[in-house]
Structure 1
Amino acid sequence: MQTGYYSSAAGMVSQFNRLDTIANNLANVNTNGFKEDNLIVGDFMRIYQEKRDELPNQNQTKEAAQFINRTMTKAPQIVDSYTDFSVGEMQKSTNSLDFALAREGLFFAVKTPEGVRLTRDGAFSMNDEGKLVTKQGYEVLGDDGKAITFATTDSAIEVDKNGQIYTNVPGGITLTPNKKLYIAQPENLKNLQKEGDNLYKLEDMQKISTATESGAVLQGFTEKSNVNAVKMMTSLIEANRLVGMYQKAMDTQMNDMNRDAIEKIARKA
């Protein structure tokens, strides 16, 4: 069996997966609050160093050497993926209903037809019913778990760094406390699942705490994507070149080496 061919094919598949992830990152480079995704390709040396004490054969023996040599021929593959939740660039806006979170690990909570979801995209607006909603029309939740609604007389809306909303007294300019934004803080960011529309899903909503004194809410700002376009373009070029290299290795295995072997066998015959 030509293990080199299968290893090259698997390596090409791994690079195809990388290309999909890189393309998605680049497509969202201008998406508010988007977080960059990355893949980890299995590396034999790293895996061996982590698992060498669990080898099925005693170390420094012929059996162990044979086991390691067989393992080294295994194909490279995607072994893990992760999302970079670092904070993106803050951009000033002219919309008083735009909000950004200046700390990592904090999210706004919104109500969708599938249940409560989390998002970092704070580019909100007010619908015809006076409710604070996302671009997709999902209701933004307050710390009481209900939608945030404004009256038609609320001509002045201000929000402090902890998400407390203040609106003006009808017919006056004095501000009075209204609802408060629900600033969600998941226990473990690794449990978040991307769901589309820049939303995150958490299976166990009990593993979310409320950051009542977050000090991270910025009114009149939007958080841009944390995708590094230059790094992504470099990774895109690298992945494309690796696909070409793997393709050449497969061609060499199936054509050049086989042809050479057939010619040698024919001469001996």
Structure 2
Amino acid sequence: MQTGYYSSAAGMVTQFNRLDTIANNLANVNTNGFKEDQLIVGDFMRLYKEARDELSNANNSKAGAAFLNRTMTRAPQIVDSYTNYSVGNMQKSSNSLDFALSQEGLFFAVKTPEGVRLTRDGAFTLNDEGKLITKQGYEVLPSDYQNSQEGISFATTDSIIEVDKNGQILTNVPNSASLVQNKKLFIAQPESLKDLVKEGDNLYKLADINSLKSIEQSGAVRQGFVEKSNVNAVKMMTQLIETNRLVGMYQKAMDTQMNDMNKDAIEKIARKA
């Protein structure tokens, strides 16, 4: 009799996990370059068939039934999660140190206390030393960082800063309108986006990041733009309402199991006794 109660409880836990993901997406709806996360909730019949296909015993045997009971739960469960890396809307800004990447799968490289990390948030600024940094204070890395181990710096006389679509930085010659090449932005493209691990501060960790090479001709850098979050707020609110209703449904099912059905069973047993 408690099977239904446990199934409802398991279903509720699944929806609570889904709520956490939805809430995190909504909290970052205005975060530059944020990529939404999604969970895949498996339906019981598909999971049952997958478990049945792994049976080492006949499907109609007691051993087969025992195997299924051990490996299956009778409630929806999260079977996978993924990040949607599609490009968010490009918003024009008045800051020449704002950059956006117009192609999916490309990232800026930054230096953190934990090592090199990747980010899609190109809202950069300069620190007191003239170094190009993120809003969190991490140094933005140039394409030759692996050899030079240096960041991107500007002189106080650099009144003009231009960056082309490949990330090449141009600065002015003092007392002249002529431009000269400075560093070039490190534009990274991981072989597989599945290898990226989200961290705080809108950063991504990659295990073999030291083997990454900067793309020479990305053609994706947009100066004076910021990429907004790709979270669809309306879609997330719809999922939030749907998930809250499912939580309520599971709660009601648990109450029915504990209060009504158990009470009825106890009364019947008492009458027979």
Superposition TM-score, scaled by structure 1 size: 0.94
Moved more, 190-199 or 225-234: 190-199
The separation in 2 between residues aligned to 1:255 and 1:65, in whole angstroms, is: 34
Within a 5 Å distance, the mapping from 1:119-268 to structure 2 comes to 119-145=119-145, 146-268=150-272
The CA deviation string for residues 16-60 of structure 1, in whole angstroms up to 9 with x for no partner, is 11111111100100000000011122323223444543222234x
Q: Secondary structure at the match of 1:210?
A: coil
Identical residues among aligned pairs (%): 78
Aligned length in residues: 268
RMSD: 1.8
Aligned residue type for 2:5: Y
CA distance change for structure 1 residues 23 and 51 in 2, over 3 Å: closer, same or farther? same
**Residues of 1 paired with 2:117 and 2:68: CA distance?**
47
> How far apart, in 2, do the equivalents of 1:168 and 1:176 lie?
6
Q: Does residue 66 of the first structure (1) align with residue 65 of the second (2)?
A: yes
| Partner residue in 2 for 1:27 | 27
The equivalent residue for 1:107 is 107
Whether contact under 8 Å (1:187, 1:207) holds in the other structure is no
- Give the drift of 1:78: 2.2
| Structure 1 stretches lacking a partner, 5+ long | none
- Give the distance between the partners of 2:154 and 2:267, measured in 1 at CA: 83
Corresponding residue for 2:92? 92
Query: How far apart are the structure 2 equivalents of 1:266 and 1:127?
Result: 78
Cα distance between partner residues in 2 of 1:139 and 1:263:
71
Letter in 2 for 1:241: R
Task: List runs of 5+ in structure 2 lacking aligned partners.
Answer: none
Cα 1:220–1:23, aligned 2, differ >3 Å: closer, same or farther?
same
In structure 1, distance between residues paired with 2:29 and 2:266? 52
Give 1:203's aligned amino acid.
Answer: A
Q: Using the TM superposition, name which of 37-46 and 114-123 deviates more.
A: 37-46
